Structure 1
Amino acid sequence: MKDKTRETFELFIEKANLLEEKTFVKNSIANGLNLNIQFGSPRQIKHNISDREFIESVVVTVRMFYQDNDRISFRKIASLLSDPSLSQTFIAFFNERRKELNVYLDSFGEIQGVWDGKELTNRNIFDTFVYGDIAHTNEEKRAVYLKWKELGALFILIEYLFVRILMDVVLLIVEVADAMKLELAGKKIVYT
Protein backbone atom coordinates (compact mmCIF):
# COMPACT_ATOMS: atom_id res chain seq x y z
CA MET A 1 0.00 0.00 0.00
CA LYS A 2 1.31 3.44 -0.86
CA ASP A 3 2.45 5.47 2.13
CA LYS A 4 0.01 8.28 1.30
CA THR A 5 -2.90 5.84 1.19
CA ARG A 6 -1.90 4.18 4.47
CA GLU A 7 -1.39 7.51 6.26
CA THR A 8 -4.69 8.88 4.99
CA PHE A 9 -6.59 5.73 6.01
CA GLU A 10 -4.98 5.87 9.46
CA LEU A 11 -6.01 9.52 9.85
CA PHE A 12 -9.55 8.72 8.66
CA ILE A 13 -9.75 5.93 11.25
CA GLU A 14 -8.33 8.16 13.99
CA LYS A 15 -10.93 10.87 13.35
CA ALA A 16 -13.75 8.31 13.05
CA ASN A 17 -12.72 6.83 16.40
CA LEU A 18 -12.77 10.35 17.84
CA LEU A 19 -16.35 10.71 16.61
CA GLU A 20 -17.38 7.44 18.24
CA GLU A 21 -16.02 8.67 21.57
CA LYS A 22 -17.95 11.97 21.55
CA THR A 23 -20.51 12.16 24.34
CA PHE A 24 -23.22 13.25 21.93
CA VAL A 25 -22.61 10.25 19.65
CA LYS A 26 -22.49 7.79 22.55
CA ASN A 27 -25.71 9.19 24.05
CA SER A 28 -27.50 9.23 20.69
CA ILE A 29 -26.58 5.61 20.01
CA ALA A 30 -27.47 4.49 23.54
CA ASN A 31 -30.70 6.47 23.92
CA GLY A 32 -31.76 7.26 20.36
CA LEU A 33 -33.08 10.58 19.16
CA ASN A 34 -36.66 11.33 20.12
CA LEU A 35 -39.16 13.88 18.95
CA ASN A 36 -42.35 14.54 20.91
CA ILE A 37 -45.18 16.53 19.35
CA GLN A 38 -48.08 17.56 21.58
CA PHE A 39 -51.13 18.87 19.80
CA GLY A 40 -53.61 21.09 21.48
CA SER A 41 -53.21 24.43 23.12
CA PRO A 42 -50.43 25.28 23.24
CA ARG A 43 -48.92 23.02 20.60
CA GLN A 44 -45.42 21.87 21.54
CA ILE A 45 -42.56 20.14 19.81
CA LYS A 46 -39.74 18.85 21.97
CA HIS A 47 -36.71 16.67 21.33
CA ASN A 48 -34.03 15.05 23.44
CA ILE A 49 -31.11 16.61 21.58
CA SER A 50 -28.25 17.13 23.95
CA ASP A 51 -26.33 20.30 24.64
CA ARG A 52 -25.42 22.31 21.54
CA GLU A 53 -21.76 22.24 22.56
CA PHE A 54 -21.72 18.47 22.03
CA ILE A 55 -23.32 18.82 18.59
CA GLU A 56 -20.80 21.48 17.59
CA SER A 57 -17.89 19.24 18.57
CA VAL A 58 -19.25 16.47 16.32
CA VAL A 59 -19.81 18.88 13.41
CA VAL A 60 -16.22 20.14 13.58
CA THR A 61 -14.94 16.57 13.12
CA VAL A 62 -17.58 15.52 10.55
CA ARG A 63 -16.64 18.53 8.45
CA MET A 64 -13.23 16.93 7.83
CA PHE A 65 -14.93 14.04 6.03
CA TYR A 66 -17.42 16.26 4.23
CA GLN A 67 -15.43 19.23 2.93
CA ASP A 68 -13.36 18.52 -0.15
CA ASN A 69 -10.39 20.57 1.03
CA ASP A 70 -9.49 18.05 3.75
CA ARG A 71 -7.43 14.98 2.88
CA ILE A 72 -9.85 12.63 4.64
CA SER A 73 -12.90 13.88 2.76
CA PHE A 74 -14.83 11.24 0.88
CA ARG A 75 -13.83 12.87 -2.43
CA LYS A 76 -10.12 12.87 -1.52
CA ILE A 77 -10.32 9.24 -0.36
CA ALA A 78 -11.90 8.35 -3.72
CA SER A 79 -8.82 9.77 -5.44
CA LEU A 80 -6.68 7.21 -3.57
CA LEU A 81 -8.60 4.23 -4.89
CA SER A 82 -6.19 3.86 -7.80
CA ASP A 83 -3.62 2.44 -5.35
CA PRO A 84 -3.01 -1.02 -6.85
CA SER A 85 -2.63 -2.64 -3.45
CA LEU A 86 -6.24 -1.91 -2.46
CA SER A 87 -8.61 -4.83 -2.75
CA GLN A 88 -11.40 -4.63 -5.29
CA THR A 89 -13.79 -5.45 -2.46
CA PHE A 90 -12.72 -2.38 -0.49
CA ILE A 91 -12.90 -0.16 -3.57
CA ALA A 92 -16.42 -1.40 -4.35
CA PHE A 93 -17.45 -1.01 -0.70
CA PHE A 94 -16.12 2.54 -0.48
CA ASN A 95 -17.68 3.62 -3.79
CA GLU A 96 -21.02 2.13 -2.75
CA ARG A 97 -20.98 3.89 0.63
CA ARG A 98 -19.95 7.20 -0.95
CA LYS A 99 -22.78 6.92 -3.45
CA GLU A 100 -25.17 5.94 -0.64
CA LEU A 101 -24.12 9.05 1.31
CA ASN A 102 -24.69 11.37 -1.64
CA VAL A 103 -28.06 9.82 -2.49
CA TYR A 104 -29.11 10.14 1.16
CA LEU A 105 -27.99 13.77 1.39
CA ASP A 106 -29.69 14.69 -1.88
CA SER A 107 -33.00 13.09 -0.88
CA PHE A 108 -35.87 14.43 1.17
CA GLY A 109 -36.19 13.44 4.81
CA GLU A 110 -39.39 13.79 6.78
CA ILE A 111 -40.06 17.28 5.43
CA GLN A 112 -40.69 17.50 1.72
CA GLY A 113 -40.96 20.93 0.32
CA VAL A 114 -39.28 24.08 -0.88
CA TRP A 115 -37.93 26.95 1.18
CA ASP A 116 -36.99 30.20 -0.59
CA GLY A 117 -36.85 28.35 -3.89
CA LYS A 118 -34.64 25.51 -2.63
CA GLU A 119 -35.73 21.97 -1.94
CA LEU A 120 -35.47 20.91 1.70
CA THR A 121 -33.19 17.97 1.04
CA ASN A 122 -31.11 16.42 3.77
CA ARG A 123 -28.06 18.15 2.25
CA ASN A 124 -29.71 21.58 2.33
CA ILE A 125 -30.74 21.12 5.96
CA PHE A 126 -27.26 19.85 6.88
CA ASP A 127 -25.45 22.60 4.96
CA THR A 128 -27.68 25.34 6.38
CA PHE A 129 -26.84 24.37 9.96
CA VAL A 130 -23.16 23.68 9.31
CA TYR A 131 -22.37 26.60 7.00
CA GLY A 132 -24.99 29.03 8.23
CA ASP A 133 -24.40 28.73 11.97
CA ILE A 134 -22.22 26.05 13.55
CA ALA A 135 -18.97 25.98 11.59
CA HIS A 136 -19.25 28.95 9.21
CA THR A 137 -21.39 31.97 8.60
CA ASN A 138 -21.95 31.86 4.86
CA GLU A 139 -24.17 34.86 4.16
CA GLU A 140 -26.86 33.03 2.18
CA LYS A 141 -27.03 30.02 4.50
CA ARG A 142 -26.95 32.28 7.57
CA ALA A 143 -29.98 34.19 6.26
CA VAL A 144 -31.90 30.94 5.78
CA TYR A 145 -30.87 29.68 9.22
CA LEU A 146 -32.08 32.90 10.89
CA LYS A 147 -35.42 32.68 9.04
CA TRP A 148 -35.79 29.08 10.20
CA LYS A 149 -35.12 30.13 13.80
CA GLU A 150 -38.13 32.44 13.62
CA LEU A 151 -40.42 29.47 12.88
CA GLY A 152 -40.70 28.49 16.53
CA ALA A 153 -41.86 24.89 16.88
CA LEU A 154 -41.13 24.13 13.22
CA PHE A 155 -37.50 25.16 13.81
CA ILE A 156 -37.27 22.55 16.57
CA LEU A 157 -38.42 19.94 14.05
CA ILE A 158 -35.84 21.09 11.46
CA GLU A 159 -33.12 21.11 14.14
CA TYR A 160 -34.10 17.57 15.12
CA LEU A 161 -33.86 16.50 11.46
CA PHE A 162 -30.42 18.09 11.22
CA VAL A 163 -29.22 16.07 14.19
CA ARG A 164 -30.64 12.86 12.70
CA ILE A 165 -28.86 13.60 9.43
CA LEU A 166 -25.65 14.31 11.34
CA MET A 167 -25.89 10.98 13.17
CA ASP A 168 -26.57 9.09 9.94
CA VAL A 169 -23.44 10.65 8.45
CA VAL A 170 -21.43 9.74 11.57
CA LEU A 171 -22.57 6.12 11.41
CA LEU A 172 -21.59 5.87 7.75
CA ILE A 173 -18.14 7.37 8.51
CA VAL A 174 -17.62 4.80 11.26
CA GLU A 175 -18.67 1.99 8.92
CA VAL A 176 -16.12 3.12 6.31
CA ALA A 177 -13.43 3.42 9.00
CA ASP A 178 -14.13 -0.16 10.10
CA ALA A 179 -13.64 -1.32 6.49
CA MET A 180 -10.40 0.65 6.30
CA LYS A 181 -9.14 -1.11 9.44
CA LEU A 182 -9.77 -4.46 7.79
CA GLU A 183 -8.11 -3.32 4.58
CA LEU A 184 -5.03 -2.10 6.44
CA ALA A 185 -4.84 -5.44 8.27
CA GLY A 186 -5.14 -7.37 5.02
CA LYS A 187 -8.41 -8.94 6.11
CA LYS A 188 -11.35 -9.56 3.83
CA ILE A 189 -14.23 -7.11 3.93
CA VAL A 190 -17.65 -8.71 3.90
CA TYR A 191 -20.56 -6.44 3.12
CA THR A 192 -24.04 -6.63 1.71
Structure 2
Amino acid sequence: MSKFFEEEHIKDEIKNKYEEARVRLNEYLDGSTGINVGKPVSRRNLLDTFIYGELAHSNMQKKKVYDEWMRDELLSIILKNEFRLTLINVVHIISYIGDLCEEVVIVSKGI
Protein backbone atom coordinates (compact mmCIF):
# COMPACT_ATOMS: atom_id res chain seq x y z
CA MET A 1 0.00 0.00 0.00
CA SER A 2 2.88 2.37 0.76
CA LYS A 3 4.02 2.19 -2.88
CA PHE A 4 0.56 3.35 -3.97
CA PHE A 5 0.89 6.50 -1.87
CA GLU A 6 4.41 7.18 -3.22
CA GLU A 7 3.16 7.81 -6.76
CA GLU A 8 3.92 11.27 -8.16
CA HIS A 9 0.35 12.30 -8.97
CA ILE A 10 -0.75 11.96 -5.33
CA LYS A 11 -0.76 15.22 -3.39
CA ASP A 12 1.82 15.59 -0.63
CA GLU A 13 -0.97 16.34 1.85
CA ILE A 14 -2.54 12.93 1.21
CA LYS A 15 0.85 11.20 1.26
CA ASN A 16 1.59 12.78 4.63
CA LYS A 17 -1.81 11.79 6.04
CA TYR A 18 -1.24 8.20 4.93
CA GLU A 19 2.26 8.11 6.43
CA GLU A 20 0.97 9.52 9.73
CA ALA A 21 -1.80 6.91 9.82
CA ARG A 22 0.64 4.10 9.03
CA VAL A 23 3.01 5.23 11.77
CA ARG A 24 0.12 5.62 14.24
CA LEU A 25 -1.14 2.13 13.43
CA ASN A 26 2.28 0.54 13.93
CA GLU A 27 2.93 2.46 17.13
CA TYR A 28 -0.50 1.43 18.43
CA LEU A 29 0.07 -2.24 17.54
CA ASP A 30 3.53 -2.24 19.10
CA GLY A 31 2.16 -0.66 22.27
CA SER A 32 1.46 -2.64 25.40
CA THR A 33 -1.97 -3.92 26.30
CA GLY A 34 -1.02 -3.46 29.94
CA ILE A 35 -1.40 -7.22 30.34
CA ASN A 36 1.54 -9.28 31.54
CA VAL A 37 1.60 -13.07 31.16
CA GLY A 38 5.18 -13.65 32.19
CA LYS A 39 6.07 -10.89 29.75
CA PRO A 40 4.17 -7.85 28.48
CA VAL A 41 1.65 -8.53 25.70
CA SER A 42 1.74 -6.04 22.83
CA ARG A 43 -1.40 -5.42 20.83
CA ARG A 44 0.33 -6.87 17.75
CA ASN A 45 1.17 -10.06 19.65
CA LEU A 46 -2.40 -10.22 20.96
CA LEU A 47 -3.87 -9.89 17.44
CA ASP A 48 -1.43 -12.38 15.94
CA THR A 49 -2.08 -14.90 18.71
CA PHE A 50 -5.87 -14.64 18.42
CA ILE A 51 -5.91 -14.63 14.61
CA TYR A 52 -3.26 -17.27 13.87
CA GLY A 53 -3.64 -19.31 17.05
CA GLU A 54 -7.42 -19.48 17.32
CA LEU A 55 -9.28 -18.14 14.31
CA ALA A 56 -7.08 -19.41 11.48
CA HIS A 57 -5.31 -22.25 13.35
CA SER A 58 -2.37 -21.69 11.03
CA ASN A 59 0.38 -21.37 13.64
CA MET A 60 0.75 -24.16 16.18
CA GLN A 61 2.99 -22.10 18.47
CA LYS A 62 0.41 -19.32 18.60
CA LYS A 63 -2.32 -21.95 19.15
CA LYS A 64 -0.37 -23.23 22.15
CA VAL A 65 -0.06 -19.70 23.58
CA TYR A 66 -3.73 -18.99 22.90
CA ASP A 67 -4.78 -22.20 24.66
CA GLU A 68 -2.60 -21.30 27.66
CA TRP A 69 -4.21 -17.87 27.84
CA MET A 70 -7.72 -19.35 27.67
CA ARG A 71 -7.11 -21.78 30.55
CA ASP A 72 -7.31 -18.92 33.05
CA GLU A 73 -10.95 -17.78 33.12
CA LEU A 74 -10.28 -14.21 34.29
CA LEU A 75 -7.28 -13.72 32.00
CA SER A 76 -9.25 -15.04 29.02
CA ILE A 77 -12.03 -12.51 29.63
CA ILE A 78 -9.52 -9.66 29.88
CA LEU A 79 -7.63 -10.77 26.76
CA LYS A 80 -10.80 -11.24 24.70
CA ASN A 81 -11.96 -7.77 25.67
CA GLU A 82 -8.57 -6.27 24.77
CA PHE A 83 -8.67 -8.15 21.44
CA ARG A 84 -12.05 -6.60 20.62
CA LEU A 85 -10.87 -3.11 21.58
CA THR A 86 -7.72 -3.53 19.51
CA LEU A 87 -9.74 -4.69 16.49
CA ILE A 88 -12.04 -1.67 16.79
CA ASN A 89 -9.08 0.72 16.80
CA VAL A 90 -7.30 -1.06 13.95
CA VAL A 91 -10.46 -1.06 11.81
CA HIS A 92 -10.89 2.65 12.53
CA ILE A 93 -7.39 3.40 11.18
CA ILE A 94 -7.90 1.08 8.18
CA SER A 95 -11.17 2.87 7.42
CA TYR A 96 -9.37 6.22 7.55
CA ILE A 97 -6.77 4.90 5.08
CA GLY A 98 -9.63 3.70 2.88
CA ASP A 99 -11.03 7.24 2.91
CA LEU A 100 -7.62 8.52 1.78
CA CYS A 101 -7.68 6.02 -1.10
CA GLU A 102 -11.12 7.28 -2.12
CA GLU A 103 -9.81 10.84 -2.00
CA VAL A 104 -6.97 9.88 -4.36
CA VAL A 105 -9.43 8.32 -6.80
CA ILE A 106 -11.73 11.36 -6.70
CA VAL A 107 -8.83 13.78 -7.24
CA SER A 108 -7.42 11.57 -10.02
CA LYS A 109 -10.75 11.56 -11.85
CA GLY A 110 -11.26 15.27 -11.32
CA ILE A 111 -14.58 14.77 -9.56
| More off after superposition, 87-96 vs 176-185 | 176-185
Q: Given the alignment of the two structures, is residue 185 of structure 1 paired with residue 106 of structure 2, yes or no?
A: yes
Q: Given the alignment of the two structures, is residue 122 of structure 1 paired with residue 46 of structure 2, yes or no?
A: no
Q: Aligned pair count?
A: 108
What corresponds to 2:84 in structure 1? 163
Please, what TM-score do these two structures have when normalized by structure 2? 0.89
The answer to which structure, 1 or 2, has the higher relative contact order (CA under 8 A, 6+ apart) is: 1
Distance 1:136 1:101 in 2: 25
Q: Given the alignment of the two structures, is residue 78 of structure 1 paired with residue 2 of structure 2, yes or no?
A: yes
Please, what TM-score do these two structures have when normalized by structure 1? 0.53
Q: CA RMSD in A?
A: 1.6
Q: Supply the AA of the counterpart residue of 1:105.
A: L
Q: Supply the AA of the counterpart residue of 2:9.
A: S
- Gaps of at least 5 residues in structure 2 are none
Q: Match for 1:138 among 59, 63, 68?
A: 59
Q: Supply the AA of the counterpart residue of 2:28.
A: Y
Distance 1:135 1:172 in 2: 23
- Gaps of at least 5 residues in structure 1 are 1-76, 188-192
What corresponds to 1:96 in structure 2? 20
Cα offsets for 1:3-22 (capped at 9, x unmatched)? xxxxxxxxxxxxxxxxxxxx
What corresponds to 2:30 in structure 1? 106
Cα offsets for 1:113-155 (capped at 9, x unmatched)? 353xx53011111110011011233011010000011011210
Distance 1:183 1:81 in 2: 9
What corresponds to 1:87 in structure 2? 11
Cα offsets for 1:44-94 (capped at 9, x unmatched)? xxxxxxxxxxxxxxxxxxxxxxxxxxxxxxxxx002233111111111111
Q: Mark the CA change 1:154 to 1:123 in structure 2 (over 3 Å): closer, same or farther.
A: same
Distance 2:58 2:102 in 1: 35
More helix as a share of residues: 2
Q: Supply the AA of the counterpart residue of 2:18.
A: F
Q: Given the alignment of the two structures, is residue 154 of structure 1 paired with residue 78 of structure 2, yes or no?
A: no
The answer as to whether partners of 2:25 and 2:90 remain within 8 angstroms in 1 is yes
